[in-house]
């Protein structure tokens, strides 16, 4: 696996040209748009298929590692002994091999269903598993309202694929000390979060009690759950959370902010981190 930075083929914006017709007041005009790539990404552990996710084929090393973390299969990048990205005619395979005891724990899990871009919980076995709650996150972060606005303001200018296509989600990693550390984009919100947490895990920055996870869309239950497994204490989003996302954030000790736009935002859970 790569150490730090990005592999040469993974930092590129993934978009393709699509022909269409623009309907304007002056009449229809033939034109070309850039649209994001969306392909099946097969996740394999120890040569066995685990899940198929529809995703943007960029930063796939980050995606594989982050997916492994937010699925609860690994706690550190060292538990993945090898990772291969294998393009094919029908999609891309992300092949990973796990050390023990992670490999043994994998055998007790069953997940071999397709996950569309809007789904983060496909293929789990029970409602109890859907609501699994790891320990609460750390409490080392304190930020001002101005810093929360600064964090979200840094997100849009860094979205290269979003600027080209206006059709992808972004997840950013921001700290008071360093500002925007990294950003990942994907057609799926949960995929973007997996990619950014995977990058931070590969760089040895997880668990992290002093970072904000920035999300370009709404905050759903699975996004809060992913942040919880990564130990991230605060989520700030440009749109609203769901009721279950709020419940989990309150239980897990995560500060959850929504509608971070203009000069205001809403705080749905644990406002004590905001000074």
Positions marked catalytic: 119
By the 10 Å C-beta count (0-12 exposed, 13-18 middle, 19+ buried), 70 is classed as buried
Closest CA to 63 of 196, 178, 155: 196
Report the distance separating Cα 168 and Cα 185, nearest Å.
6
Widest Cα–Cα separation across the chain: 65
Q: Where are the beta strands (DSSP E) in 116-248?
A: 169-175, 179-186, 212-215, 234-237
Pairing of strands 212-215, 234-237: parallel
CA distances in angstroms from 80 to 64, 68, 73, 201, 257, listed in the order given: 10, 9, 10, 11, 33
- Yes or no: say if 254 and 245 are a contact pair by the CB < 8 Å rule: no
């Amino acid at each position: 696996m790569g150490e730090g930075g990005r592999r040469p083929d993974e930092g590129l914006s993934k978009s393709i040209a699509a022909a269409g017709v623009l309907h304007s007041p002056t009449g229809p005009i033939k034109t070309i748009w850039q649209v994001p790539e969306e392909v099946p990404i097969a996740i394999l552990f120890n040569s066995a298929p685990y899940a198929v996710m529809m995703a943007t084929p960029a930063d796939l090393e980050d995606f594989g590692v982050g997916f492994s973390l937010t699925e609860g299969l690994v706690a550190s990048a060292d538990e993945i002994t090898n990772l291969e990205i294998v393009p094919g005619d029908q999609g891309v395979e992300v092949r990973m091999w796990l050390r023990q005891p992670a490999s043994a724990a994998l055998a007790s899990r069953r997940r071999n269903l397709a996950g569309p871009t809007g789904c983060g919980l496909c293929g789990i076995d029970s409602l109890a598993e859907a609501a699994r709650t790891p320990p609460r996150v750390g409490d080392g972060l304190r930020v001002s309202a101005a810093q929360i606005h600064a964090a979200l303001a840094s997100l849009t200018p860094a979205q290269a694929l979003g600027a080209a296509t206006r059709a992808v989600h972004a997840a950013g990693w921001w700290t008071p000390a360093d500002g925007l550390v990294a950003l990942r984009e994907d057609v799926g919100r949960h995929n973007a979060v997996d990619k950014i947490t995977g990058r931070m895990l590969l760089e040895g920055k997880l668990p992290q009690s002093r970072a904000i996870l920035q999300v370009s869309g709404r905050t759903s239950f699975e996004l809060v759950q992913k942040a919880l497994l990564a130990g991230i204490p605060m989520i700030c989003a440009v749109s609203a959370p769901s009721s279950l996302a709020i419940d989990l954030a309150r239980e897990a000790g995560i500060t959850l902010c929504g509608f971070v736009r203009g000069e205001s935002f809403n705080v749905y859970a644990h406002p004590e981190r905001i000074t």
